[in-house]
Amino acid sequence: MKKAILLLSIIFVLIYSLTAQNAYQVIKVTGTIKIVESGVSLSQGISFDDDNNLDFITTNARAAVIHPSKGRFILMPNNSNIAYARANLTPSMSNISSRAGAMISKVDLSNFFSGDYVIIDKSYIKISPNIFIMDNDNFFYIKYTYKDEDIHKKLKYSNDTLIINKSELFTIDGWPITNPNITKMELLYMSKEKGGSIYINSFNPVFPDSKELLSEIEVILKNFKDKSKEEIINELVNYINEMYGKIDQTNVEKWLIDNNKI
């Protein structure tokens, strides 16, 4: 009897192991997507396999999922059959977001601050002093509109590094703004030589919840245990690019180190 129970236990473990190896695990979901067979809605940590059908309940719903051997996918209504998901994987954004070194031209900086730009708590951007000096008379600032009022926030710097601090952006007269819902910002440069402001570009600020993002990152890290540090960082940068917006690789690496993830 004991041998039979032991055998059944071994078989169960083997089946579970094989199932886990063939399962896709959910990293993040926007909208509502259900597994047809079980009626379960996808959420972070939920697993499903190739045989499952997915029902996209809400318009434009999508999910980031990962497979231990096949990699990471973005599921959308047009690729609800997982077998075809790879062909419809959302492409990574331009790798200007993960460039190394300082911005060396105004064009670089303008391209960098365009579209959806991600700031996780703080953002550090190295800028060549040959194009933009940063001192008391020459500095960058951000402009946005809040309750029909134009807000100008002078940005801090350290030597050749521009610093954007989320909490400081949304503080007016010493009081923090709750739920600012700012969808557009402009980056400008005050030049003493020019005697006025130089427009750099407008962008859509994206401020992910740090705790939620860490939770999503954990799912990816569990499936990348055998990868090198460089591969892991590249994967995480690409994930943030695809699900949130443009981000600098140096900032991702610093954020991961600060949170003891690498």
Measured between alpha carbons, how far is 34 from 260 in angstroms, rounded to an integer?
A: 34
In this prediction, residue 20 carries a pLDDT of: 46
Measured between alpha carbons, how far is 123 from 236 in angstroms, rounded to an integer?
A: 16
Segment 47-63 shows an average pLDDT of 88
In this prediction, residue 261 carries a pLDDT of: 83
Question: Does residue 100 register a pLDDT over 60?
Answer: no
Handedness of CA 154, 160, 164, 168 (dihedral sign): negative
Q: Alpha helices, DSSP H only, in the chain?
A: 2-21, 106-112, 166-169, 210-222, 229-243, 249-258
| Residue 206 near residue 115, CB atoms below 8 Å | no
Segment 141-145 shows an average pLDDT of 96
Measured between alpha carbons, how far is 187 from 110 in angstroms, rounded to an integer?
A: 9
Could you tell me the CA-to-CA distances from 15 to 23, 45, 111 in Å, in that order? 12, 20, 50
Q: Is 169 left (phi over 0), alpha (psi -120 to 50) or beta?
A: alpha
In this prediction, residue 223 carries a pLDDT of: 86
Segment among 79-83, 87-91, 180-184 with least mean pLDDT:
87-91
Segment among 33-37, 100-104, 172-176 with least mean pLDDT:
100-104
Segment 72-100 shows an average pLDDT of 55
Segment 244-254 shows an average pLDDT of 91
Question: Does residue 229 register a pLDDT over 90?
Answer: no
Question: Does residue 153 register a pLDDT over 90?
Answer: yes
Q: How many CA atoms lie within 13 A of 98 on its CB side?
A: 18
pTM for the predicted model, two decimal places: 0.79
Measured between alpha carbons, how far is 59 from 42 in angstroms, rounded to an integer?
A: 15
161-165 vs 171-172, strand pairing mode: unpaired
**Pick from 116, 93, 140: which is nearest to 207 by CA?**
116
| Residue 96 near residue 102, CB atoms below 8 Å | no
Q: Average model confidence (pLDDT) for the chain?
A: 83
Measured between alpha carbons, how far is 113 from 245 in angstroms, rounded to an integer?
A: 11
Question: Does residue 161 register a pLDDT over 80?
Answer: yes
Measured between alpha carbons, how far is 77 from 89 in angstroms, rounded to an integer?
A: 12
Between 42 and 10, the higher pLDDT residue: 42
Spatial CB neighbours of 46, under 8 Å, sequence gap ≥ 6:
25, 26, 35, 40
Confidence category of residue 21, pLDDT binned at 50, 70, 90: low
In this prediction, residue 174 carries a pLDDT of: 83
Measured between alpha carbons, how far is 170 from 161 in angstroms, rounded to an integer?
A: 21
In this prediction, residue 82 carries a pLDDT of: 55
Confidence category of residue 117, pLDDT binned at 50, 70, 90: very high
At position 121, the amino acid (one-letter code) is D
Segment among 5-9, 71-75, 154-158 with least mean pLDDT:
5-9
